A and B are shown apart, each in its own frame.
Chain A
Amino acid sequence: MSAVVSSVVPSGEKLALRCTGLHRYLGQGEGRVHVLRGVSFEAQPGQVYAIVGPSGCGKSTLLYLLGLLDQPDAGEIAIDGQLMSNSEDSVRTAARGLHIGFVFQFHFLMLEFSALENVMMPMRKLGKLSPAAMAERAHGLLASVGLGEKTHRLGTQLSGGEQQRVAVARALANQPAIILADEPTGNLDVKNSAMVFDLLTRLAKENGQAVILVTHNPEIANRCDLVRPMRDGLFV
């Protein structure tokens, strides 16, 4: 059951992510568009948030800003209490590896690598686990998304739904505090959409991760804890 809210943060609650007054312009010259017009948002651990709205309203732009893939023209982003919006590229990159997991609409698997290698990729960069422990965790994650038997298949040898499930497992690999999903079911049929969404929310809930997903699918949105509708670069 979802609830459309304007403010989701009870005072004193620890936040996984917070942004205030985000502005973002895209394009140049006459084509320059004011995509985000002072957006503020907060996410708590263990909650699933849906950002909904018409195409071009700034949902994905906001998601990339929250994921530190892009930098705002104005405003602040804090992750795990640390201000990240204006920090150096190396700091934002490290924060992405440590705190954030991404699931994109078109899975974005690395097709020359097996499912197992794709899931191990973020772990290998973080380097916290031994190779054996990484492989064990990757096996576990793939088993939890129902791909325990297909761990050694290359990305090209998996169906669209399977690829997206691998992407979910990969997003969870480093146990990030925040999962950002950009239309994670947008390219899947109904059955696979439901499966991927269930997996994402179940695993995130189990691990106390904040999930922020952008979706056009009202059924998916309605199953989130909180829905934030957007229009013309602002939450409404």
Chain B
Amino acid sequence: MSPNLHIAFRFLTAKKRAMLMSLSCIILGVGLFIVTQAATTGFEGFFIRTILGTDGAMRIQDKLQATQGSMAAGGYNSGFEIEQKENLKYIEGIEEPGRLLAALSEFENVSGASAVLRGSVVIRSSFQNQSIQVFGIDLAAHVKVSDLGNQIVDGSLTSFRDSPSGAILGREMANRLHLNVDDSFQLEALGQVRRYRVSAIYETGVSDIDRLRLYLNMIEARSLLKEPIKATFLQINLANKDRAPEDAAHMQQVLGYSAEPWQQREKSWLSAFSALRITSGITVSVFTLIAGLAMFNTLAMIVLEKTKDIAILRSMGYERADITRIFLWQAGIVLVIGIVIGGAFGAGASYAISRVPLPHGGITGIFATKYFIVDLRYWHIVQAAITAIFTVMIASLVPARRAARLEPGDIVRGTAL
């Protein structure tokens, strides 16, 4: 052990009570920072999994058609032209979904693609009528680009696949219309009314989907919506979902269709989660700030009490830098202990709250969960540690430098401070 560290340790143990205050705040600051970051990351991750499981990693829709880039404003050859901001026109829908699906299979990162035909209809049950959205899908393709297989809470996909008049309803929709598996209902679209049967009920946890989205087999949907060829959009799954923006840009260029990655589609929610994570991090950093202030106070007190010891050390040949280090070591020792215990506390508390049931039966709306979701990452601990180190060391620097500036002659003479 270096002499400076040895001295720091002894000074520290002589001030246990005062240091305990700083230590407690560091433990709380680090621990709560980890818990809040793990929880927000957990909920954000769960939200992303949910939206990827329902709407996929990417959607291709609307053909892009180039238009003129500028317009002559003062007549032909006037030399005065107005530049168009965006030289593109969007044509709704996918005209040749089969060819596009074949082209998509050439993209390395694409792990699945499903054509979807969407249309507005009115659903009629014996209980009430409601406007909803029909999604015509090819089940085999769609389960590769969504988590529909795992979202079924009643009935079965096999029943849906084998029955042309079968339909999959969202949980909220089924509840509102008082429909159960095997119940029949009617869909009204484009002046026709057809009868269908509930094959399965799904639940994504996303209220807008569970309330409004009904799946039909593609052939039946084409017939109902009178759309024999086109698809509304292609839902795509990617092996590496983080690469979606780059792949979307590439596809847009190659295929001539607009491609929207999930990061852009869910931008507002992702921004909200990000803001929540930062806000909660800043809020719990107050504990770390208090730890810094407590450390400043304690070290300032030690400097006052140890002026003679500082003079002795300086008279023995200890340099100003040694004195600074002695005080910074004290902060460092408390920090290390605080970060280790705080890290363990944070990890333990994160695990504990993941076992705590959420009030009112859980959360639904943007996803469905009955428990707190935590996702503890090593960088949560690193971030918490960096925050604590930054705050406490900055706070410790002032008394440490003050101690180093003391003149031994003034101390011995009794005129220091």
Contacts and interface: CB of A to CB of B under 8 A. Distances in A.
B314 A122 contact: no
A121 B3 contact: yes
Interface stretch (B198-206, B282-290, B304-312): B304-312
Given A70-B409, A108-B308, A124-B3, A97 B316 contact: yes
A41 interface: no
A133 to B, nearest CB: 15
A167 to B, nearest CB: 9
A234 B410 CA distance: 21
B317 A97 contact: yes
Interface residues of B, number: 27
A182 B411 CA distance: 14
Interface stretch (A88-96, A135-143, A224-232): A88-96
Contacts of B311: 69, 108
B315 A89 contact: no
A60 B13 CA distance: 34
B10 A69 contact: no
Given A70-B407, A121-B3, A125-B322, A94 B412 contact: no
A3 interface: no
Nearest to B308: A108
A122 B409 contact: no
Interface string A97-128: 11010101000111011000000011011100
Interface in A30-73: 60-61, 64-65, 67, 69-70
Nearest to B309: A110
A113 B3 CA distance: 12
A6 B415 CA distance: 32
B412 A122 contact: no
Nearest to B319: A93
B4 to A, nearest CB: 9
B413 A94 contact: no
Interface string B170-195: 00000000000000000000000000
A125 B315 contact: no
A121 B310 CA distance: 12
Nearest to B11: A112
Given A69-B409, A112-B14, A102 B315 contact: yes
B236 to A, nearest CB: 67
Contacts of B3: 121, 124-125
B135 to A, nearest CB: 75
B320 interface: yes
Nearest to B12: A112
Interface string B104-130: 000000000000000000000000000
16 contacts: A60-B413, A64-B413, A69-B311, A69-B407, A69-B408, A70-B410, A96-B316, A97-B316, A102-B315, A102-B316, A108-B308, A110-B10, A113-B10, A121-B3, A122-B316, A174-B317
Interface of B: 3, 6-7, 10-11, 13-14, 308-309, 311-320, 322, 407-410, 412-413, 415
- State the 10 A-B residue pairs at the shortest beta-carbon distance, nearest first: A97-B317, A70-B409, A69-B409, A124-B3, A122-B316, A112-B10, A69-B408, A64-B409, A102-B315, A108-B312
